[in-house]
């Protein structure tokens, strides 16, 4: 039954490992998280789920699996005969203990009695000599003097209040949903991982002492690179048109990125990249910057993040004069390639749900241009995008 | 010897019990101001156990929690011809975990803000937390825990922790207190607070947390500060009527909104609301 629960969790895409499942079993065998389903819920969550953004999904799976099985829970988790009876194997008992078991009418009889009593007993029971509970003299339950015995928590109460996992209190923490700036910041922060490079220019005292000692006292100076967040980010944002629906989300991303990266540059474009971009959206028609200038200004080390819904006519990407705003001499795809030739680390974040991607031709085209480096503008999507940013793109043959 | 100011929820209580019974480290996350650090201090007090605190910084290395070899002092002593120099163990400085492992009682260890350190930091502690023992290279001895201490680890989510580390921990997320719990917390701090003032202040506070787009949501400690100001001014509760939240800035808002942009945002919302009413 617990194995079923475990499989159910894994099928739902929750990253639970065997170790954690064994932890859960160990806990149950020590009477942690037994007695009622509520306690079991808390304890299994404690053991199995290590990320609050998965709490909501866990709640749903838990509800899904245990709905209608509450009574089965009382019988099975609180006794767990299947697993535990194997542990409390007959062979593991001493002769003396075996004699006591015999007094009960033999192993088979013992198990039979257990099942009967579990069925007959509907209330918690402590003390006494027959029913299952704690501190009794019955062979079942803990503290019972039947050695090794069959350890059981008392069966739970029947009716229960509103269940915690049905309230879905952690809905806001689910990582697949779009969230506030803090969550974006956390996601963006992992870009820090790729920032530990640079010249060795500070004295590494520990290593110097160690090396000097190994050198029999002759000074051997060791240097190391300073740790710094040297990552440079170039953010190119689509504005206007169909992007208006996603304004709030993009603002969140922008403010998160600005507080996360010291070297963040941003420019705007409309629908797709052509020969110019602009910095200030109010003066977009007077104050533009030619794309070649952009390529000259920023070094190859810059990580480029495009943000746009990529939803347009495919001509706007592939044809000359395809832009909706002006006559472009060369198709946007060629400009995109020029950017990629200079900046090898590019990703595209798309606020549109990925369900729509396959049915929108322009998204498919751009995704191909981006060598599949298109991700949804959600916490998970950003995490994937950041992962992708760590490896450079494969240079492609120019389009013309 | 319990601190009545600290309110512990049932969920958290169970998590701690489980960590104690199964002797696993307990990883605690939660919004700032939900009392993550306080938890360890509280547990130590309730168990009457010694508490060892290890506050992690961005420069902290894993071995600093075990021990450090003070080579510089030894070098100096050797120049001065000090007798101590012959015994290397004179220069081994004990770290937090060393002290906790060799403690006679079952100790509580707090590893605070583990996410502040380098990403390899948790991995470097895996073996030590798993086996509760480590080797001292310089003196060739092994330090083993006499009694497995209860390890409480807090994280602010600044970095993701490695899976291998997470597998070995229990994880509990402290949710932001709901109104009932919050009232208990406030009453524990200010037992004499007027009921009506408390109620309207709570309404304002929770409404304010709902305002979309705030850069920094006010947390428990901010609420407590704010209430302190309100109590000091001895305001009648009427001045805080909750429907007023949308028309004026709450009194002493400086204690709740700590960011210029948030105050601006809030003023804008009030302005919009007034326009809509016209």
Tell me the pLDDT tens digit for each residue of B99-128.
Answer: 998 888 888 999 998 888 877 788 888 888
Of chain A, the percentage scoring pLDDT greater than 70 comes to 64
**CB proximity B173 to A under 8 Å:** yes
Predicted pLDDT of residue A87? 40
Chain A residues with CB under 8 Å of B170 CB are 46-47
Judged by average pLDDT, the poorest of A50-64, A116-130, A146-160 is A146-160
Write out pLDDT tens, residues A178-195.
445 666 666 777 666 555
| Long-range contacts of residues A7-14, Cβ cutoff 8 Å, at least 24 apart | A8/A61, A8/A64, A8/A65, A9/A48, A9/A58, A9/A61, A12/A57, A12/A60, A12/A61, A13/A57, A14/A48, A14/A49, A14/A54, A14/A57, A14/A58, A14/A61
Judged by average pLDDT, the poorest of A100-109, A206-215, A270-279 is A100-109
Instruction: Tell me the mean pLDDT in the region A236-261.
Output: 77
CA separation, residue A274 to residues A229, A271, A316, A326 (Å): 31, 9, 10, 10
Minimal-distance CA residue of chain B relative to A40: B14
Q: How many CA atoms lie within 13 A of B14 on its CB side?
A: 23
Mutate which: A35, A50, A247, A390, vs B, most B CBs within 10 A: A50
CB contact under 8 A, B158 and A189: yes
Nearest to B18 among A19, A46, A192 (CB): A46
* Cα–Cα nearest to B149, from B50, B77, B58, B78: B50
Instruction: Tell me the mean pLDDT in the region A304-326.
Output: 84
Write out pLDDT tens, residues B193-224.
777 778 777 877 887 777 766 777 788 888 88
Predicted pLDDT of residue B110? 92
pLDDT at A152 over 50: no
Predicted pLDDT of residue B178? 80
Predicted pLDDT of residue B54? 92
pLDDT at A31 over 60: yes
Distance from CA of A186 to the nearest CA of B (A): 6
Predicted pLDDT of residue B248? 61
Predicted pLDDT of residue B183? 83
Distance from C-alpha of A342 to C-alpha of A273, rounded to nearest angstrom: 15
Instruction: Tell me the mean pLDDT in the region B133-157.
Output: 87
pLDDT at A82 over 50: no
Judge contact between B114 and B122, C-beta under 8 A: yes
Minimal-distance CA residue of chain A relative to B155: A51
Neighbours of A209 (CB within 10 A): 18
Instruction: Tell me the mean pLDDT in the region B163-190.
Output: 84
Query: In chain B, how long is the greatest CA-to-CA distance?
Result: 88
Chain A residues with CB under 8 Å of B163 CB are 15
Judge contact between A260 and A185, C-beta under 8 A: yes
CB contact under 8 A, A209 and B167: no
Judged by average pLDDT, the poorest of A183-197, A283-297, A371-385, B182-196 is A183-197
Q: Which backbone phi and psi does B179 adopt, to 5 degrees?
A: -60, -45
Distance from C-alpha of A18 to C-alpha of A182, rounded to nearest angstrom: 32
Predicted pLDDT of residue A326? 79
Nearest to A20 among B21, B71, B167 (CB): B167
Distance from CA of B136 to the nearest CA of A (A): 16
pLDDT category at B26 given cuts 50, 70, 90 is: very high
Distance from C-alpha of A119 to C-alpha of A83, rounded to nearest angstrom: 19
Helices (H), A121-169: none
CB contact under 8 A, A42 and B171: no
Minimal-distance CA residue of chain B relative to A19: B167
Chain B residues with CB under 8 Å of A55 CB are 173
* Cα–Cα nearest to B18, from A30, A316, A311, A400: A30
Mutate which: B15, B60, B74, B173, vs A, most A CBs within 10 A: B173
Predicted pLDDT of residue B251? 64
Predicted pLDDT of residue A155? 36
Judge contact between A232 and A301, C-beta under 8 A: yes
**CB proximity B5 to A under 8 Å:** no
Q: Which residues of B46-69 are buried (b: 16+ CB within 10 A; e: fewer)?
A: ebebbbbebebeeebebbbbbbbb
* Cα–Cα nearest to B213, from B257, B157, B149, B160: B257
CB contact under 8 A, B22 and A27: yes
Tokens of A20: 């954690």
| Long-range contacts of residues A196-204, Cβ cutoff 8 Å, at least 24 apart | A196/A225, A196/A227, A197/A225, A197/A230, A198/A225, A198/A226, A198/A228, A198/A230, A199/A225, A200/A224, A200/A225, A201/A225, A201/A226, A202/A226
**CB proximity B176 to A under 8 Å:** no
Q: Which backbone phi and psi does A306 adopt, to 5 degrees?
A: -90, 140
Consecutive H or E run containing B44: helix B36-47
Tokens of B13: 């209580």
Predicted pLDDT of residue B137? 85
Predicted pLDDT of residue A11? 85
pLDDT category at B152 given cuts 50, 70, 90 is: very high
- What stretches of chain B adopt beta strand conformation (E)? 26-30, 51-55, 67-69, 92-94, 108-112, 133-136, 141-144, 150-155, 170-174
**CB proximity B190 to A under 8 Å:** no
CA angle A243, A244, A247 (to 5 degrees): 90
Write out pLDDT tens, residues B64-84.
889 988 888 888 888 888 888
Q: Which backbone phi and psi does A7 adopt, to 5 degrees?
A: -65, -40
pLDDT at A397 over 70: no
Judge contact between B188 and B139, C-beta under 8 A: no
Chain B residues with CB under 8 Å of A193 CB are 119
Predicted pLDDT of residue A245? 77
Highest mean pLDDT among A96-100, A278-282, B36-40, B253-257: B36-40
Predicted pLDDT of residue B148? 87
Judged by average pLDDT, the poorest of A55-59, A117-121, A295-299 is A117-121
- Residue B94 pairs in a beta bridge with B67
pLDDT at A228 over 70: no
Predicted pLDDT of residue A85? 40
CB contact under 8 A, A27 and B14: no
ipTM tops the 0.85 cut: no
Per the confidence metrics, is the pTM higher than 0.90? no
pLDDT category at B153 given cuts 50, 70, 90 is: very high
CB contact under 8 A, A46 and B163: no
Predicted pLDDT of residue B52? 92
3-state helix, strand, coil in chain A (%, to 5): 45, 10, 40
pLDDT at A91 over 50: no
pLDDT at A337 over 70: yes
Predicted pLDDT of residue B235? 64
- Residue A374 pairs in a beta bridge with A348
pLDDT at A145 over 70: no
Minimal-distance CA residue of chain A relative to B158: A186
- Residue B55 pairs in a beta bridge with B112
pLDDT at A84 over 80: no
**CB proximity B209 to A under 8 Å:** no
CB contact under 8 A, B169 and A50: yes
pLDDT at A149 over 50: no
Nearest to B172 among A46, A192, A193 (CB): A46
- What stretches of chain A adopt beta strand conformation (E)? 200-203, 223-225, 232-238, 263-269, 276-278, 288-290, 303-307, 346-350, 374-376
pLDDT, mean over chain A: 72
Predicted pLDDT of residue A156? 35
Instruction: Tell me the mean pLDDT in the region A347-351.
Output: 89
pLDDT at A262 over 50: yes
Judged by average pLDDT, the poorest of A42-56, A123-137, B116-130 is A123-137
Higher-confidence residue: A263 or B87? B87
Predicted pLDDT of residue B27? 92
Predicted pLDDT of residue A143? 36
Chain A residues with CB under 8 Å of B215 CB are 181
Consecutive H or E run containing A70: helix A70-76
Predicted pLDDT of residue A196? 52
Chain A residues with CB under 8 Å of B158 CB are 186, 189
Q: Is the dihedral of CA A144, A146, A150, A151 positive or negative?
A: positive
**CB proximity B72 to A under 8 Å:** yes
Instruction: Tell me the mean pLDDT in the region B153-180.
Output: 83
Distance from CA of A329 to the nearest CA of B (A): 42
- Residue A236 pairs in a beta bridge with A267, A306
3-state helix, strand, coil in chain B (%, to 5): 50, 15, 35
Nearest to A46 among B71, B72, B171 (CB): B171
Minimal-distance CA residue of chain A relative to B213: A180
Distance from CA of A182 to the nearest CA of B (A): 8
Tokens of B216: 């920094």
Of chain A, the percentage scoring pLDDT greater than 90 comes to 2
**CB proximity B170 to A under 8 Å:** yes
pLDDT, mean over chain B: 81
Q: What secondary structure letter does DSSP report for A200? A: E
What is the count of residue pairs from A and B with beta carbons less than 8 Å apart?
63
A→B interface, C-beta within 8 Å? 15, 17, 19-20, 23, 26-27, 30, 32-33, 39, 42-43, 46-47, 49-52, 55, 169-170, 173, 181, 186, 189-190, 192-193, 209-210, 213
């Amino acid at each position: 039954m617990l194995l079923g629960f475990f499989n159910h969790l894994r099928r739902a895409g929750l990253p639970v490992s065997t170790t954690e499942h064994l932890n859960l079993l160990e806990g149950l065998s020590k009477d942690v998280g037994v007695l009622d389903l509520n306690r079991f819920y808390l304890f299994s969550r404690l053991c199995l789920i290590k990320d609050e953004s998965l709490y909501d999904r866990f709640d749903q799976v838990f509800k899904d699996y245990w709905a209608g099985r509450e009574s089965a829970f009382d019988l099975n988790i609180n006794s767990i005969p299947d697993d535990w009876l194997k542990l409390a194997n007959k062979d593991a008992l001493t002769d003396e203990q075996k004699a006591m078991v015999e007094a009960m009418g033999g192993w088979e009889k013992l198990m039979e009695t257990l099942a009967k009593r579990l069925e007959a007993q509907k209330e918690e029971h402590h003390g006494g000599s027959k029913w299952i509970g704690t501190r009794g003299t019955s062979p079942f339950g803990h503290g019972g003097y039947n050695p090794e015995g069959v350890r059981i928590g008392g069966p739970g109460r029947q009716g229960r209040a509103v269940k915690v996992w049905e309230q879905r209190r952690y809905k806001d923490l689910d990582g697949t949903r779009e969230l506030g700036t803090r969550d974006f910041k956390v996601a963006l922060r992992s870009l820090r991982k790729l920032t530990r490079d640079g010249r060795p220019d500070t004295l590494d005292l520990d290593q110097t002492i160690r090396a000097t000692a190994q050198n029999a006292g002759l000074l051997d100076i060791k240097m190391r690179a300073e740790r710094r967040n040297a990552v440079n980010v170039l953010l190119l944002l689509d504005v206007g048109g169909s992007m208006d629906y996603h304004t709030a989300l993009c603002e969140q991303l922008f403010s998160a990125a600005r507080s996360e990266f010291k070297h963040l540059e941003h420019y705007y474009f409309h629908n797709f990249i052509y020969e110019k971009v602009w910095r200030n959206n109010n003066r977009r028609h007077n104050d533009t910057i030619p794309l070649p200038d952009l390529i000259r200004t920023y070094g190859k080390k810059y990580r480029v993040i495009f943000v746009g819904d990529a939803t347009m006519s495919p001509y706007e990407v592939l044809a000359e004069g395809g832009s909706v705003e002006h006559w472009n001499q060369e198709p946007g795809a060629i400009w995109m390639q020029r950017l990629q030739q200079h900046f090898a680390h590019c990703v595209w974040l798309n606020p549109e749900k990925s369900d729509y991607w396959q049915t929108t031709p322009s998204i498919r085209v751009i995704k191909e241009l981006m060598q599949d480096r298109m991700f949804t503008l959600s916490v998970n999507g950003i995490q994937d995008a950041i992962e992708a940013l760590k490896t450079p793109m494969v240079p492609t043959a120019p389009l013309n | 010897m319990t601190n009545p100011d600290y309110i512990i929820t049932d969920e958290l209580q169970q998590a701690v019990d489980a960590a104690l019974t199964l002797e696993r480290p307990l990883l605690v996350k939660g919004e700032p101001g939900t009392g993550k650090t306080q938890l360890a201090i509280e547990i130590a007090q309730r168990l009457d156990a010694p508490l060892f605190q290890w506050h992690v910084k961005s420069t902290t290395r894993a071995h600093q929690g075990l021990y450090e070899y003070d080579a510089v002092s030894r070098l100096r002593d050797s120049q001065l011809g000090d007798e101590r120099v012959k015994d290397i163990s004179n220069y081994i400085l004990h770290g937090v975990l060393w002290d906790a492992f060799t403690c006679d009682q079952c100790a509580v260890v707090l590893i605070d803000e583990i996410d502040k350190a380098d990403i390899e930091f948790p991995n470097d502690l895996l073996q030590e937390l798993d086996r509760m023992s480590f080797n001292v290279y310089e003196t060739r001895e092994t330090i083993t825990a006499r009694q497995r201490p209860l390890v409480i680890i807090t994280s602010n989510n600044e970095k993701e922790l490695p899976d291998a580390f997470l597998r070995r921990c229990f994880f509990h997320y402290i949710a932001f207190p709901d109104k009932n719990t919050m009232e208990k917390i406030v009453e524990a701090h200010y037992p004499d607070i007027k009921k009506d003032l408390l109620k309207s202040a709570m309404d304002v506070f929770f409404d304010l947390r709902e305002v979309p787009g705030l850069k920094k949501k006010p947390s428990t400690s901010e609420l407590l500060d704010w209430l302190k100001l309100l109590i000091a001014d001895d305001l009648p509760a009427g001045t805080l009527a909750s429907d007023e939240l949308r028309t004026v800035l709450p009194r002493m808002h400086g204690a709740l909104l700590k960011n210029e942009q948030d105050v601006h945002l809030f003023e804008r919302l009030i302005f919009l609301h007034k326009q809509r009413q016209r």
